[in-house]
Structure 1
Amino acid sequence: MTAASLSLSDHQRAVLALWSEVNASLSAYYKLVTSFGNAELAWQAKVEAWRQLGIHHTHLTRHEQPEQTRASIDKIQQALIEGRYGLLFADQPDYPAQLLAIYDPPPLLFYRGDKSRLNQAQIAIVGSRKPTAHAQKTTFDMAQYLAQAGYIVTSGLAMGVDKRAHLGALAQVDSEYQGRTIGVMGTGIDVNYPNHHDKLFNQIIDQGGCIISELLPHTLPHKHTFPRRNRLVAGLSLATIVTEATIQSGSLITARLTSEQGKQVFAIPSHIDNSNAEGCHHLIREGATLIYHPQQVLEDVNSQLGYNNDSRAPTHLPKSDNDSSNNNQWPSSQPSNSIDIDRSVGKATGQPPPSNIKSPPSAIVVPEHLTLVYEQLDWHGQDLDALIVTTKLAPPQLIGQLMELELLGVVSVHGGRYLRV
């Protein structure tokens, strides 16, 4: 692609200028565009005309310094030419169609990676920044399963559940089907946050995924930028899954926005003593769909899209090099071609993903002689000393029973703590 082909049109420069001068304020941007008819006329308007509309004084100050705005646009233009990131405008065909259906679509999107992912059918997975080990594994396995069924897994690039969702979607057996994930940033496209997620960002891009931001380059993390990011996670996706979340989790914002957009919210239940899952239990009480297997998500989403769900045996099981997810708890679907989005209606079209997936496995029955120990375990984890106190068993006997439970696959050990799987 030549530098000329990356040149911004006058209209695009005006959109960028307006977006920059209102500091990515959606309400101010749309007030100006609606009042003046388009971004070019709004940018050319006098400061006094902006003031009469009630535009914030900091925006007025920036509007009084057009030379600084032009310099910022020139820097963005240079970054586009150098390939540091890309830029999509809402009137371009590559702009994600499903975002045009939300109340306040961003007028532009910065991106890194494969932008074609944005117009493929997506399912969001969100949750706690500090999930339990069980939730981490569940999230990873669910994301891997959905990605191999043909969907893109969308999340917010945060620590915890978001990261596990991205990694699960990237953990494909066949390289042809890698990169089925989109990360929505709460910072500028050139600001990696959290800082130690540099490797994750690069992995998503290198494997064919995509990272996007509506915020201007160099925008640092702020408490207000992440809730607005959540509306894009919800807007891009056909449905949202919450795998584990506290009652105060930002994931519940994403769930609420998903519901307000007329889409389905799924939540995974947990033990009633798991305070990390109170948000999921609240969502289920409020009407979210309870799930315990990703095939249930596929059945509901596919039926909404008019796809059938013929069940066939899987031809292979997923494998992962990830530390805690080498033994996926669910059989995998056969990888399929991605599902595209029809821009005119914002709906998924094309061939449905094959549903060659087994039914959820039947529950493992814990032998009677192991029931005492198993019932003392939870999803938080307990060390050996605590279990000796609660079970009143001699250490050799307790260790032996814990090993039996591990072999049954119902107990795992993390950092010297035993917990249910």
Structure 2
Amino acid sequence: MSSDPRDWIAASLLPGIGAVGLKRLAAAQVPPSRLLDADSEALSLSGARVDTVRALDALAAGRGEPAERLERCLEWLDSGAARCLCPDAEDYPALLWQIPDPPPLLFVRGDAGCLAMPQLALVGSRHASRAGAANAYAFARALSEAGLVITSGLALGIDGAAHQAAVDRGAATVAVFGTGLDRVYPRRHRKLAQTILDTGGAWVSECLPGTAPLPGNFPRRNRIISGLSAGVLVVEAAPRSGSLITARMALEQGREVFAIPGSIQNPAAHGCHRLIREGAVLVETVAHVIEQLGPLLGSYLPAETPAPLPQGLSEPEANLLDKMGYDVAGIDQLVVLTGLSAPELMPLLVSLELKGAIEPVAGGYLRR
């Protein structure tokens, strides 16, 4: 039988009692009510300190900040704004419980049932290139069609593209917050966040309501993104990207790590290249992900459908597109590659852009 969420929330507010201490209580089947009653076994298991015992007295008397935060949180839950999943709840995600420091509280808004489905974390740069965002959208959509729930952090860039791909096909996606669920961050994604709920997805956070988007919250948020998921796909990441933190946490948690390579000229691809050098699975197609995660989906493997080339290209346009390759190509470089002059190239480039075959980017043009 599950313990009262109130007891878990109260225990989490005590100084000196972190996620690891509360996991010890749950693993030993010691309810948090015994900790709140200052039971010696519970105090020892949780790693309580002297200031923990002092805080217990204040909490029991309804004094101090922990008591105030507890009451605010309970009022928020009573309003029906969210659910609180505790470690001994039947629907607490089993995969998340396996990590070294699972969140003792998991606030969920939306359909908590999707947390029990096979999930893939898809993360990357907040300052994504157009190509990176397009890759994130395409992979997230295809992986969602393959039966995986896409999990990410609702950030700008790659995260937002991944969530958008799922909701565009009416599929569930999980957004893990680095704030309380009473505020959406970044604010620019409020409409996307609401659509996640409308399409059967969920918002998840370990933070109590009222928690601001402080920098320290997000690295801890990342362990939940990877902990909920069978694997992590990094689409685009700079060498110091927070996405690499998620990838490292995934490795520590025994999860699969995947990375999409990019141009060596693109700084936002260097983090993915580093992951690949360190052993991440190099991903070029959706099949490369599904093959690794096959046991979660049985023998199902979606058929590869090559992307069609733009129709209606003239022979000069097709030749130019072929010579461009897949890296950013500037006018001077194209003059050398094709033997055409700049005035001869410009009408072809404009036509290819109008036909959706290329797009202008910083430094030149990029094949789509």
* CA RMSD across the alignment: 3.5
* Superposition deviation, residue 27 in structure 1: 4.4
Name the structure 2 match of 1:282.
274
Q: Which has a greater percent of helix?
A: 2
Which string of whole-angstrom CA distances, capped at 9 and with x for unpartnered residues, describes residues 103-135 of structure 1? 111122111111111101101100111011000
The number of residues matched between the two structures is: 355
Match of 1:152 among 136, 139, 149: 149
Name the structure 2 match of 1:43.
36
SS of corresponding position for 1:241 = strand
Measured in 2, the distance between the counterparts of 1:366 and 1:223 equals 52
Tell whether the 8 Å contact from 1:33 to 1:42 is kept in structure 2 after alignment: no
Tell whether the 8 Å contact from 1:372 to 1:391 is kept in structure 2 after alignment: no
Task: Please show how residues 113-192 of structure 1 align to structure 2 within 5 Å.
Answer: 113-172=110-169, 178-192=170-184
Measured in 2, the distance between the counterparts of 1:133 and 1:58 equals 51
Higher relative contact order (CA 8 A, sep 6+): 1
Task: Please show how residues 247-258 of structure 1 align to structure 2 within 5 Å.
Answer: 247-258=239-250
Measured in 2, the distance between the counterparts of 1:126 and 1:202 equals 20
Measured in 1, the distance between the counterparts of 2:290 and 2:26 equals 40
The verdict on how the C-alpha distance between 1:309 and 1:115 changes in structure 2, with shifts beyond 3 A counting, is closer
Measured in 2, the distance between the counterparts of 1:57 and 1:161 equals 45
Name the structure 2 match of 1:6.
none
Which string of whole-angstrom CA distances, capped at 9 and with x for unpartnered residues, describes residues 282-336 of structure 1? 011111111111122112211x3372246xxxxxxxxxxxxxxxxxxxxxxxxxx
Measured in 2, the distance between the counterparts of 1:55 and 1:290 equals 45
Which has the higher mean CA deviation after the structures are superposed, 22-31 or 110-119?
A: 22-31
Match of 2:304 among 358, 373, 377: 358
Measured in 2, the distance between the counterparts of 1:370 and 1:137 equals 22
The verdict on how the C-alpha distance between 1:374 and 1:155 changes in structure 2, with shifts beyond 3 A counting, is same
* Superposition deviation, residue 407 in structure 1: 6.5
The verdict on how the C-alpha distance between 1:420 and 1:17 changes in structure 2, with shifts beyond 3 A counting, is same
Name the structure 2 match of 1:83.
80
SS of corresponding position for 1:65 = helix
SS of corresponding position for 2:7 = helix
Confirm whether residue 270 of structure 1 aligns to residue 262 of structure 2. yes
Measured in 1, the distance between the counterparts of 2:184 and 2:360 equals 32
Which has the higher mean CA deviation after the structures are superposed, 34-43 or 361-370?
A: 361-370
Name the structure 2 match of 1:314.
none
Which string of whole-angstrom CA distances, capped at 9 and with x for unpartnered residues, describes residues 342-378 of structure 1? xxxxxxxxxxxxx3x3344588999785279726x84
Confirm whether residue 374 of structure 1 aligns to residue 365 of structure 2. no
What is the percent sequence identity of the aligned residues?
36
Measured in 1, the distance between the counterparts of 2:309 and 2:253 equals 36
SS of corresponding position for 1:259 = helix
Measured in 2, the distance between the counterparts of 1:366 and 1:112 equals 54
Tell whether the 8 Å contact from 1:186 to 1:229 is kept in structure 2 after alignment: yes
Tell whether the 8 Å contact from 1:179 to 1:207 is kept in structure 2 after alignment: yes
> Quick one: which amino acid aligns to residue 74 of structure 1?
E
The verdict on how the C-alpha distance between 1:78 and 1:270 changes in structure 2, with shifts beyond 3 A counting, is same
* Superposition deviation, residue 78 in structure 1: 2.7
Measured in 2, the distance between the counterparts of 1:89 and 1:116 equals 15
Tell whether the 8 Å contact from 1:152 to 1:180 is kept in structure 2 after alignment: yes
Measured in 1, the distance between the counterparts of 2:100 and 2:201 equals 26
Measured in 2, the distance between the counterparts of 1:265 and 1:36 equals 33
The verdict on how the C-alpha distance between 1:210 and 1:372 changes in structure 2, with shifts beyond 3 A counting, is closer
* Superposition deviation, residue 237 in structure 1: 0.7
Measured in 1, the distance between the counterparts of 2:109 and 2:264 equals 41
Confirm whether residue 213 of structure 1 aligns to residue 210 of structure 2. no
Match of 1:305 among 296, 299, 316: 296
Tell whether the 8 Å contact from 1:293 to 1:360 is kept in structure 2 after alignment: no
> Quick one: which amino acid aligns to residue 282 of structure 1?
R
The verdict on how the C-alpha distance between 1:372 and 1:110 changes in structure 2, with shifts beyond 3 A counting, is closer
Which string of whole-angstrom CA distances, capped at 9 and with x for unpartnered residues, describes residues 180-239 of structure 1? 200111111212211222112111112211010011111112222111111111111111
* Superposition deviation, residue 15 in structure 1: 1.2
Unaligned runs of 5+ in 1: 1-8, 173-177, 311-354
Measured in 2, the distance between the counterparts of 1:214 and 1:408 equals 47
Measured in 2, the distance between the counterparts of 1:170 and 1:76 equals 30
* Superposition deviation, residue 151 in structure 1: 1.1
